A and B are shown apart, each in its own frame.
Chain A
Amino acid sequence: DIQMTQSPSSVSASVGDRVTITCQASQGISSWLAWYQQKPGKAPKLLIYAASSLQSGVPSRFSGSGSGTDFTLTISSLQPEDFATYYCQQANSFPYSFGQGTKLEIK
C-alpha cells in the first residue's frame, strides 16, 4: 500500500500569508494526486486534482505542484475562509489513500 505523509501536521498563519503544505508518497505516483479542504462538520471539498489542475470554482490562490513522490499545495494569500484542514490523496493505485491531514490555524 502507498503511504501518504503530510507536513506539517499543523501550521499557524495570518490572513494574507503565503502557505505551503507538502505531501510525500511512499512510492512514485506520477501526478495521480488530489488535494481536499475540510472544514469542521463538513465534507471534504476537492481543490486540486492531477497534482496541479484547479477544480472548477476553486479560487486561483490555490495551486498544486509536484510529481513522483513529492507534492505541494500552496495558498498564495490566505483568506479567512481558508482556515481548515487539508488532505492529500493518491489516486495511482489500490487502495486509494489519504494523508493524515494538515490543520491550518489562525495565528
Chain B
Amino acid sequence: QLQLQESGPGLVKPSETLSLTCTVSGGSISSSTYYWGWIRQPPGKGLEWIGSIFYLGSTYYNPSLESRVTISVDTSKNQFSLKLSSVTAADTAVYYCARHRGVTPYFDYWGQGTLVTVSS
C-alpha cells in the first residue's frame, strides 16, 4: 500500500524558508506514470495547489507562489521536497504531499499533512 509522509519543522520564523520533505513508501517515486505534488490548507480554509514534480525533475508551480517555491526530488531516497522562501503568517497552513497520475492532477494518494506555523 502506497504511503506518503511529510516531515519538517512545525514552526518557521517570518522571512525565513519553509522546508518540508515527503517520503514515499510502498512504491517507487521513479515511476513514469505519476507526478508528485504539494497542496496546502490554511487553518479553517480551503485547499491550494502549490506545485508538482516528475521524478526526472520537471516541475510546474502555482503562479501565485512560483517566485518563492522550489520543489525537488531525490530518487535515491524515494523523497521529494518543498522549499518556500520569505514566509509570512499567510503561509501558516497544513501542508500535504500527494500523488497524481500523469500530468492531470487528480490526487489519489495523500500524506496525513503537517501543520507549519509561521511566527516569531
Residues of chain B having any CB pair with chain A under 8 Å: 46-49, 60, 62-64, 96, 98, 104-108, 110-113
Determine the chain A residues whose CB is within 8 A of the CB of B104 once the complex forms. Answer: 32, 91
Contact status A100-B107, CB under 8 Å: no
Contact status B106-A95, CB under 8 Å: no
* Per-position binary interface string of chain A over residues 72-107, scored 1 when its CB falls under 8 Å from any chain B CB and 0 otherwise: 000000000000000101010011111111000000
Say whether chain A's binding surface is mostly helix, strand, loop, or mixed. loop
Which among B46, B49, B63, B110 is the interface contact of A99 at CB below 8 angstroms?
Answer: B46
Contact status B46-A101, CB under 8 Å: yes
Contact status A96-B46, CB under 8 Å: no
- 27 A-B residue pairings within 8 Å (CB atoms): A32-B104, A34-B107, A36-B47, A36-B107, A42-B112, A43-B96, A43-B98, A43-B111, A44-B107, A45-B110, A46-B106, A46-B107, A46-B108, A49-B106, A50-B106, A89-B47, A89-B105, A91-B106, A94-B63, A95-B62, A95-B63, A95-B64, A96-B105, A98-B46, A98-B47, A100-B46, A101-B46
**A69 located at the interface, meaning its Cβ lies under 8 Å from any Cβ of chain B in the complex:** no
Determine the chain B residues whose CB is within 8 A of the CB of A49 once the complex forms. Answer: 106, 108
The 4 A-B residue pairs with the shortest CB-CB distance, nearest first, are A43-B110, A49-B106, A95-B62, A98-B47
Interface range for A: 20 to 34
Determine the residue in chain A with the shortest Cβ distance to B106.
A49
